Every structure is written in structure tokens, then in C-alpha cells.
Structure 1
Amino acid sequence: MFTDLHSPLQQLKHSYLSGLWVKRDDLIDPYISGNKWRKLKYILQDVIAKRKTHLVTFGGAYSNHLVATASAAARSGLKATAFVRGEKVNNEMLVLCSLYGMELIFIDRGAYKEKHACYAEYSAKHADTYFIDEGGACAEAVLGCAEIIAELPQDTAHLFCAAGTGTTAAGLLQGIQKAGLKTKLHVIPVLKGGEFIREEMSGYVSADDPRLILHTDYHFGGYAKTTPGLLDFIKSFTAKHGMLIDPVYTAKMFFSVNDLAFKGYFTKEEKIVALHTGGLLGIMGMKDKLKD
């Protein structure tokens, strides 16, 4: 299922840049979307190599990772179970998970913090389980994301990506380091206090690299938080470019590129690539806010 492929590069006309290129990983798959496809590629290979049959993972009620894992499991003939953080709800994302056959177990936020304990208790009662951390964070996921670098122009001066756990960013930096490129990696944490992303990345790659730049002021209040300004940006960006972006990750990343360009951060000669990591189903969690 996870065959090698190259998602397209699309150039956007930009108010303050002669051209911004977008790596359209959102076009890889509608449900195993963007970086989720990249992360799960080698996880699924490891599952098969270890002869496991049951994926057990974790996420919030609007987690794109849960939908992606449910879809990947169904296509691979595997069982899937998710521990969902918070009270029991029924939304579009979880309906998709259920349709793909994923078992949903709702747990309170306190218990959710002890993910490995939850998994140990569950796996003691079920055979051939395989632990997948929240967001798919693991070395296999980093390896999958690192492959993106080989698909980019070598003269890319600036590469932008949004970050929640730092796994995708770690993969991108790993790819840059292995290829010996001068590309600067700009990471946009979508949570408050985003400097922690550097520490998370350091578990997989040398994160004191001067090519790594964190922009921690574009969280818009924190994870899954928005402002009227960000919502207006989403509407204008989508209408102008015909490209959907989500309020949780990619909108904040594209806003940062726009803002930095306006402030004269780049030169006209520099090639800039923004990684569209997909996750468009996250729009469903903001549908009321995005109404005119």
C-alpha cells in the first residue's frame, strides 16, 4: 500500500514574494493524509515484519492521526484500537474511524497521560498488539518524513513546516543533514511554548543545528486555537489559491510565511518551499467558526 511516490510541487503567486512553492503532500491520500502517510509507511513495514495484527494508538477526538491509522489498518487487513482523550463524543472524525472498523476507547485526561500503562493493560488481554504513539511519533516516522528532502529542489533556501510533536520536523532536519544541504528548516510550533519542539526533535536528530529555526509566535493562542485574523486568512488564502488549509496546522504555517515575507525576511532570489502536511479533516472541527 505504501509505495514510493512524489507529491507535486506547486508554485503560488504571493503578494510579497516572486514565488512560493508548496510541497503538496495533502494530495497523497484523502484519509492517510500528508505527513501521516509518511509516518505510517515504515511503521506498517515494522508491523508486518514483526507479524503483528492489531494496532493500538492514541489521540484526541479530532485527531487526523486516528483517521489515518484506522484507514491504513483497514486497507492492510489489521485490527485497530484507539484510546481517545476526553469524554465520549461523536464527531465526523470519529465516525470515519468507526467506519474503518477502529475500536474507540474514551479515557479521561489523567489516564491518557499514562499511555504506556494503558497500552500494557490492554495488550495483556489482546494478542499481537503494536503500540503507536500519539501522532505516530517514533523513529520509523522520522525516517519516512526524511524522504521528503530528496523530493525537493536542492537549491531550496527555506523549508517551512508546522509542528505538533516535532516528528515531521525531525525527519526533515535528518534529511537535510544527511544530504549535506544548506537549506534552512523553519518550524512553526502550533502550541504555546513551542521551544519544547527542539527538545522533542533532539530524541531523533541533532537539534542544535543552525539550519533549524523555530518561530514560536504563530500559535494563535495554542493548539487548535484560532483568532478572527487567522480565520480570515484561511478564507482569503483558500479563495485566492484554490488550496484548502486547516486551522490547526497548515494555516498557521502559511500565515507565518506570509508575515515573514511582509517583514522582508527573504530575498527575491531565494527559493522557499512550504510543506503542506495535509490534515484537512481538521476543518470539520472549526466549521462553525469558518462560516461567513
Structure 2
Amino acid sequence: MTSNRPLFDAYPQLKDALPWQQLADLPTPVEALANVGANAWIKRDDLSHAVYGGNKIRKLEFILAEVMAQGREHVVTFGATGTNHGVATAMLCQQLGLRCTVLLFDQPESNTVRDNLQRMKKFGAELKFCGSLAHTVMRFYGHPLRLSRKHYFLFAGGSNIAGTLGFINAAFELRQQIEQGQCPMPDKIVVPVGSAATVAGLTIGAAIAGLRTDIVGIRVAPSHLGPIPTCTVATVGQLMKRTCRWLSRNKIALPPIPPPTLIDTYYGEGYGVRTEEGDRATAKFADCGITLDQTYTAKAAAAYLDSIIESSEAQLYWHTYNSRPV
């Protein structure tokens, strides 16, 4: 039987150090993508919740447990107008009786943007439209309630140590599925990279769990905000270092952790701007019954399809986009 907390099974000492609340439907399935290739596999995190899935749910199991353990009552976060993170956070905050405010920056209009704005309103989030990314970030870091003991300020995408631990747990989940024969050991795992916690957690988790696989992140967010790096090898590496320090303080003996791998060439003309490669990937995955979005998963899936062509080894695409209907 596959556990929904394999990280705790491997390291029981973390049960007292790491707040956790079951919010996700785990484990998510691994499936062959026969229409893509004989060596093609997918991890279905789009099915991580019965109402609204995606990769954010895994992070929020740990993040919102931390919120409640600290006695906080109001989560303040930020993202684009079509933020999947904002939807997942609003939904689970409503479920747990927490208030939620989402600061929003503009992104190109799309069905995903319209649907997610509708979802966030449905889940009771307070939405504040801030215009540009730069202005939104300033509003987030300069918020007048920053020192309030009742407010929890959550970085975009749920990318903090708690969120990263959610994807270390995910790597152990995949190891269980491999050991049970549900899929082969992938030579490569391809995943989109925006705020970094997903790729950071999988990179650390694969090393700790002993998975012989390369974690390859496909950058889908701006690399810099002016001169400030926001989605780079260095920013992912910094989150990994903070998380590894936390693990070490909690008596987890770490093996050598590889640096993150980040590919920039599928980003296109901007955040949320569709690409021809992404459109082709969207059509190809639709033939498999998998829905992609133009901002994140289409670009990562395009990279995955190119990688499949170049290799005869098993490769796994980690699907991070919700597939539940509006």
C-alpha cells in the first residue's frame, strides 16, 4: 500500500518537527502516455484534489498546517491574475476557516485567467489588482500588516521551506510507486519552474530517496524583475539550501544534492504568452486526454516531447495543472 506521508515513514523524527494536515488526494497516479511514446510517462498531479487539483495542493498541506500551528488566521499571498496558486490557497483556506487575500499582477488574457479569477471569488478570496509584477511585489513586501501575528505572508507559488518539503514528500511517493512496479525508474523528470519549490523539492527529494533520475526544470516565469533574479538556477539553489539546512537541523543525513537544472529556451516572448511549440504540445497531450495551459504546462510539455524524441530511456512528465472542471 502506498502511503500519503512517505517522508514521515522514512524519517519518523519529522512528525513532531513538521506540521502537516491531509488536504490532498494522494498518491496521484502515474500513467503511461502510449500516444506520446513507448518510453513516455506522466505523474498526474492534476488529480491531487477532488475540487481543484495541481501541484500547489501538495505544498499547502504543509504550509497551511504551519499557518495554523503558528496561530495565524489570514494568509496573504500574490500571483498573476490567472494564478493557480491563488485558487488552491483560497480553496483550502476556505476549507480550514482561514481568511485569504491574493495580490494580483497582470498577465495576458486567456480562458485560464478568466476561470481562475472566477474560482478565487467563489472560494471567498479578497482580490487586490496591483497592475505590474514589480508593483505587486512591492505591495507584498511593504504590506502594512507584515508584523501582525495573525497574518501569514506566503510567497508566490507557495515557494517556501514548507512548500518545498511537500515535493520532497512527492519524490518519496514516486519511489514507492516505482518499487511497486507502477512505472519504471525514469531517466529524466521534466517539470515547469515558476516560483521554484516544485523543482527544488523534487531535486532534493530524488537525491534523498535514492532515485536515479535527473530533475529538469523548464523555466516558465521571468528570470529577473529588473536587476533582481526571480527564476534562475541561483534562486532555485537558494531555496534548496535553506530547505537542506532545515533538514540538517532536524537530524536528516543528506547525501550530495545536485544543483538544479533549468532550461530557458521554451519560455517564449513572455510570461503567459503562448508559443507554437506549446500549442503543438497542447494538441498532442489532448489526444491523451490531458489538458495543458499556455502559461506553464504547455511550455514544459513541449520540452518533454523534444526530450522523448532524443532518448530511448523512460522519461516522466510531472503534470502540475488542475484538470477539474470550473
SS at match of 1:156: coil
Unaligned runs of 5+ in 2: 1-21, 180-184, 245-255
CA 1:274–1:111 in structure 2 vs 1: closer, same or farther (change >3 Å)? same
Does 1:71 pair with 2:91? Answer: yes
Shift of 1:229: 4.3
**Contact 1:246–1:279 (8 Å) recurs in 2:** no
SS at match of 2:268: coil
Higher mean alpha-carbon deviation, 75-84 vs 218-227, is at: 218-227
* Aligned counterpart for 1:104 among listed residues 109, 127, 150: 127
Percent identity over the alignment is 28
2:157 and 2:299 mapped to 1: Cα distance?
18
1:197 and 1:225 mapped to 2: Cα distance?
19
CA 1:192–1:45 in structure 2 vs 1: closer, same or farther (change >3 Å)? closer
**Contact 1:165–1:200 (8 Å) recurs in 2:** no
2:24 and 2:282 mapped to 1: Cα distance?
32
* Aligned counterpart for 2:297 among listed residues 216, 235, 250: 250
1:203 and 1:31 mapped to 2: Cα distance?
33
**1:237 matched residue in structure 2:** 285
**2:6 matched residue in structure 1:** none
Shift of 1:4: 6.9
**Contact 2:281–2:305 (8 Å) recurs in 1:** no
CA 1:191–1:85 in structure 2 vs 1: closer, same or farther (change >3 Å)? closer
1:75 and 1:127 mapped to 2: Cα distance?
21
**Contact 1:20–1:272 (8 Å) recurs in 2:** yes
CA 1:27–1:112 in structure 2 vs 1: closer, same or farther (change >3 Å)? same
Does 1:51 pair with 2:50? Answer: no
CA 1:14–1:136 in structure 2 vs 1: closer, same or farther (change >3 Å)? same
CA 1:5–1:86 in structure 2 vs 1: closer, same or farther (change >3 Å)? closer
Instruction: Output the aligned Cα RMSD.
Output: 2.9
2:284 and 2:141 mapped to 1: Cα distance?
45
**1:175 matched residue in structure 2:** 205
Does 1:201 pair with 2:236? Answer: yes
**Contact 1:182–1:211 (8 Å) recurs in 2:** no
SS at match of 1:91: helix
Unaligned runs of 5+ in 1: 285-292
TM-score by length of 2: 0.75
Shift of 1:232: 3.7
Shift of 1:20: 1.0
CA 1:229–1:271 in structure 2 vs 1: closer, same or farther (change >3 Å)? closer
**Contact 1:185–1:212 (8 Å) recurs in 2:** yes
